[in-house]
């Protein structure tokens, strides 16, 4: 489907841009410490997709958290620690969770190992802000806490029990249906990223170059959003309608970092992650 067709199907959403994103960034102050800044818990990756664990973690650290606890499978944890020794693999206090990138769905062959499943179950019933991606999307059913679902069109089609073409024909209506069904904020990925909450006006973000259509880009987006939820956890618990602007902010940072990494040509997902710090600095100046 062309961008024009997507736009025509989504005329009801408002664009969320740099200035709006700048207002949804947490900047540490002189009295902050690693706990007060926000701790993100991550359960991502699997023996099949250990790379997804590394990408979620890299993106979250680059977006800025006080601490990241990674509680995924052993092989992925070793890989994560090898790349990022600042990651903590012991359970403990967290302020938000990112679950599911690179993990099997509960109905898939093999499933996750029992220890990982237990971490996921605890996180799901914690009442803390959640990002549910990829293999964890199916766990949204019947959950009450503040959560953002981050499907692409294929995953949203599976969630809704419809075909992918019908999601692509009207992304906004499809995201809205899921938002209402699950009482969640839905961030639907694609050239245009659509964000819809159970209430409030839908938003869209179009910051990203088409070079971003590359494996692992969605894992990085989930990491960015996880970091934003951890650093805004108290505010989200007080006002869950903040989930929409925070999800849109993640898409702005992701797209802007992709553009910076691209410079008009191809780039890797780790290149994108490496640009996040400067993109955030650029946005913080905008609101000064
Ligand atoms: N390096 C890694 O470890 C990577 C791990 N990944 C993980 O791989 C697992 C499977 O991911 P898939 O996305 O292939 O999911 P699926 O294999 O579940 O894809 C489901 C359906 O969606 C369609 N689809 C895929 N991407 C789409 C898009 N961007 N827009 C519309 N439809 C799309 C596919 O054609 C397929 O029919 C996930 O857990 C994901 O997190 C991927 O992120 C790729 C990189
Ligand atoms: N044509 C495109 N132009 C710009 N961004 C895109 C395009 N296609 C996909 N994206 C973005 O790239 C990311 C892909 O995510 P996803 O499909 O989950 O990939 P993966 O599962 O491989 O990580 C999303 O953030 C999506 O919005």
Kindly list the structural domains of the chain, giving each domain's residue range(s) and its CATH number in brackets, ordered by start: 3-286 (3.40.1190.20)
Quote the tokens at residue 114.
């029992």
- What is the interface pTM, i.e. ipTM, of the complex? 0.95
- pLDDT class for 109, splitting at 50, 70, 90? low
What pLDDT shows up at residue 105? 87
Pair 3, 63: CB distance under 8 Å: no
What pLDDT shows up at residue 12? 85
Tell me which ligand sits closest to the C-alpha of residue 101.
1
Q: How far apart are CA 161 and CA 181, in angstroms?
A: 12
Residue with tokens 């956890």: 233
Query: 7-16, 86-95, 267-276 — which is least confidently predicted?
Result: 7-16
Residue among 131, 73, 134, 133 nearest 108 (CA)? 134
Q: What residue owns the CA closest to ligand 1's atom 25?
A: 154
Q: How far apart are CA 72 and CA 54, in angstroms?
A: 11
Ligand 2 centroid vs 153 CA: distance in angstroms? 10
pTM flag (> 0.90) = yes
Q: Is 76 in the pocket of ligand 2 (CB under 6 A)?
A: no
Bind-site residues for AMP: 189-193, 218
Q: How far apart are CA 95 and CA 127, in angstroms?
A: 10
- pLDDT class for 200, splitting at 50, 70, 90? confident
Is the model's pLDDT at 14 over the cut of 50? yes
């Amino acid at each position: 489907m062309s961008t024009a067709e997507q736009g025509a199907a989504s005329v009801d959403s408002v664009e969320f841009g740099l200035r709006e994103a700048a207002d949804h960034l947490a900047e540490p102050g002189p009295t902050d410490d690693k706990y007060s800044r926000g701790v993100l818990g991550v359960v991502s990756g699997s023996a099949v997709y250990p790379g997804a664990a590394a990408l979620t973690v890299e993106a979250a650290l680059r977006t800025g958290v006080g601490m990241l606890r990674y509680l995924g499978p052993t092989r992925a944890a070793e890989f994560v620690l090898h790349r990022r020794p600042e990651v903590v693999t012991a359970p403990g206090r967290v302020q938000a969770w990112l679950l599911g990138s690179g993990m099997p769905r509960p109905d898939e062959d093999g499933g996750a190992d029992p220890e990982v499943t237990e971490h996921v179950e605890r996180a799901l019933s914690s009442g803390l802000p959640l990002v549910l991606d990829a293999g964890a999307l199916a766990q949204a059913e019947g959950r009450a806490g503040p959560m953002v679902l981050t499907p692409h069109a294929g995953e949203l089609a599976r969630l809704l029990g419809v075909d992918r073409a019908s999601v692509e024909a009207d992304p906004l209506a499809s995201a809205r249906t899921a938002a209402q069904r699950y009482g969640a904020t839905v961030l639907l990925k694609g050239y245009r990223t659509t964000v819809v909450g159970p209430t409030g006006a839908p938003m869209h973000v179009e910051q990203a170059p088409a070079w971003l259509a590359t494996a692992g880009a969605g894992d990085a987006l989930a990491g960015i959003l996880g970091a934003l939820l951890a650093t805004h956890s108290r505010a989200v618990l007080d006002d869950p309608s903040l989930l929409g602007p925070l999800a849109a902010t993640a898409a702005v940072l992701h797209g802007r970092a992709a553009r910076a990494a691209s410079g008009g040509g191809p780039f890797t997902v780790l290149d994108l992650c490496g640009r996040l710090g400067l993109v955030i600095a650029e946005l913080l100046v905008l609101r000064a």
